[in-house]
């Protein structure tokens, strides 16, 4: 009887495997990456998921939490779009503007402390994890003087995302 149950169990397991969809495999034999598509209306979810993750890391290190700044979000959004238009990740705008100048243009009156940027197909949390692996970008996330942040992106139709994270200290 146990043998019969084992055979039927193996058959059932085999049949359920037939219903599974296989992941797409690239020419190198590895699974092809999934495109992380940010849909209209997801902006708040993405920004607050990122903020919560940053603040969890900061709390674990005994640092004050950051608050979201509408002005810094606007500066980050402008820079993300500009990097995409230039097709290069760098800290200067196409007009030569710096993070400080972009923040001033949107009315931010605090002090700009740092900026992280990324050109990737990864999610906001994968991007945060990559920033934490490098000392200079980790220092921006974990800056003791930071009290505010801005976070935004521009996503191209092909799925590539240009991320910008700005930290500041409000007065």
Report the sign of the C-alpha dihedral through residues 46, 35, 81, 58, in that order: positive
Strand order in the sheet with 111-120: 67-68, 148-155, 161-169, 111-120
Confidence check: pLDDT of 67 > 70 = yes
- Residue 27: which residues within 8 A CB-CB, separation 6 or more? none
Confidence check: pLDDT of 50 > 50 = yes
CA dist., res. 169 & res. 171, Å (int): 7
| Mean pLDDT confidence for 60-79 | 98
Confidence check: pLDDT of 43 > 80 = yes
Strands (E), 27-147: 67-68, 111-120
Confidence check: pLDDT of 12 > 80 = no
| Mean pLDDT confidence for 62-72 | 98
Read off the pTM: 0.80
pLDDT tens profile 100-154: 999 999 999 999 999 999 999 899 999 999 999 999 999 999 999 999 999 999 9
């Amino acid at each position: 009887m146990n043998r019969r149950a084992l055979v039927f169990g193996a058959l059932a397991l085999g049949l359920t495997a037939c219903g599974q969809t296989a992941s797409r495999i690239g020419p190198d034999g590895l699974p092809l990456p999934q495109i992380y598509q940010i849909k209209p209306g997801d902006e708040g979810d993405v920004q607050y998921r990122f903020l919560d993750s940053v603040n969890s890391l900061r709390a674990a290190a005994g640092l004050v939490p950051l608050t979201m700044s509408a002005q810094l979000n606007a500066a980050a959004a402008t820079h993300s779009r500009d990097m995409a238009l230039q097709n290069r990740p760098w800290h200067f705008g196409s007009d030569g503007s710096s993070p400080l100048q972009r923040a001033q243009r949107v009315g931010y009156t605090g002090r700009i402390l740092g900026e992280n940027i990324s050109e990737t197909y990864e999610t906001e949390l994968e991007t945060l994890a990559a920033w934490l692996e490098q000392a200079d970008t980790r220092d921006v996330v974990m800056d003791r003087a930071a009290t505010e942040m801005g976070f935004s992106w521009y996503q191209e139709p092909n799925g590539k995302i240009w991320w910008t994270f700005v930290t500041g200290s409000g007065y």
